[in-house]
Homo-oligomer: A and B are copies of this chain.
Amino acid sequence: MAKNFSTRQENYSQWYNDIVIKADLAENSAVRGCMVIKPYGYAIWEKMQSALDKMFKDTGHSNAYFPIFIPKSFFSKEASHVKGFAKECAVVTHYRLKNSDDGKGIIVDEDAKLEEELIVRPTSETIIWDTYKNWIQSYRDLPILVNQWANVVRWEMRTRLFLRTTEFLWQEGHTAHATKDEAIAETKQMLNIYADFAENWMALPVLKGTKSPNERFAGAIETYCIEALMQDGKALQSGTSHFLGQNFAKAFDVKFLSKENKLEYVWASSWGVSTRLMGALIMAHSDDNGLVLPPKLAPIQVVIVPIYKKEEQLAQISEKANQIKKALQKKGISVKYDDRDTFKPGWKFSEYEFKGVPVRLVIGPRDLENETVEIARRDTLEKEVLKITDIENKVEHLLEQIQKNLFQKAYSFREDNTYKVDSWNEFKEIIDKKGGFLLSHWDGTEETEEKIKEETKATIRTIPLDNNPEEGKCIYTGKPSKQRVVFAKAY
């Protein structure tokens, strides 16, 4: 493992990119803005998917699949949706290529022009509500609780691996309900699931709240979000859940016959998280030695490395290592025993350290004699020599400890970087010098929000759900305000 990577201090952005590339998580492809997710990175994403998918199913949702293409006209049907989504997108105009006249290449066949252009989905509300129209007649057909795992495309001018890419992977839930209350309850339930996942799987503390009108999803009545703080003091929106009211039902004419025999428009929610979570995960915990992964999402939780001089020693160590491996696997722990003779132990140590494997066990000839094993944890880099007896319980316990420690560390970091700010000068200084979450009063107008953004690049990340009402004056205009909101610069 090459040591030529940046520290956070030197260049935070380069540090992030170095980890993504050198830990084999993802890379840029030949197609501008589209990434290749490499096997090690994809294995983390699969763990995320599997945990989230179970949470969705445990709350009654099913998966389905809708077309990747959306007829252009669909976007015009919901007035605010079209503004937000129909602009920067991939447009399919033709369905055939042909040989060029000079025979040297292939060109677009102008005879195969589509009557109506197709858009590669940037999000699927429109095509899904066009489908729901045929699924819903009566209250008996409701609720519909459907999720889709899919790829989506938003044409981005400036891209960064995982954080902002032209194509990304995500899940999008789209639910249909008979009542407003039920749709709101669903929207909040999914926000809570996202927060639960972020905190208990990703070890990432998040604020739960709503967005200001300015930052709302195009087509939503209310957007709920979870917001996390990264190590450079910038916020990262990690998941959103939207209460869509009857907007899409009206746009696509989806009505149902209620229990009271009245024809009513259907109520909707939609909610999603994406491969952007990978960016959050990497940035939240990693250090200047590379990636740090919470055990629950680590593809390899424990690596065992042998140290030996003679072949005969290796055989003995391997026997012991394989015993430990089996005992750990029985507990559902994923273990890799790396006995490759093409790499030296020191090289392997750096490799797994850089790739964020939570626990490393090392067994050498002396360990055989003493019935011991060296155990190292990635989060604190501490090492210890332990008796081999009962090692599987010790490792299991350590993995839990690391999971907790990472959350606690990130939580303390957030606490240390959250400020109640009541003076505009202080606001500007903190945003500029330190970053972090700034709790300040806001007069509730879009205009003020825009001006603060222009002057400081900070935006309102969220209006926290657990806010205490508090009389105060807007940080910018001095006008009266009833609660603090969370400002930060954001990814």
Contacts and interface: CB of A to CB of B under 8 A. Distances in A.
Interface string A118-141: 111000000100110010000010
B82 A90 contact: no
Interface residues of A, number: 63
Integer count of this chain's copies in the complex: 2
A64 B37 contact: yes
A36 B89 contact: no
Contacts of A153: 68
- Identify the interface centre among A70, A91, A117: most chain B CB within 10 Å of its CB: A91
Contacts of A37: 64-65
Contact of A89 (B93, B95, B105, B342): B95
Contacts of A67: 29-31, 34-36, 167
B90 A97 contact: no
B94 A106 contact: no
A120 B96 CA distance: 11
Interface in A239-297: none
Contact of A82 (B46, B106, B167): B106
A457 interface: no
Contacts of A308: none
A146 B95 CA distance: 29
A391 interface: no
A89 B97 contact: yes
Contact of A64 (B38, B87, B95): B38
Contacts of A69: 31, 34, 90, 167
A73 interface: yes
Contact of A106 (B34, B86, B95): B86
Given A30-B127, A127-B30, A146-B39, A91 B108 contact: yes
A180 to B, nearest CB: 23
A364 interface: no
What 4 A-B pairs are tightest by C-beta distance, nearest first?
Answer: A34-B67, A39-B62, A37-B65, A91-B94
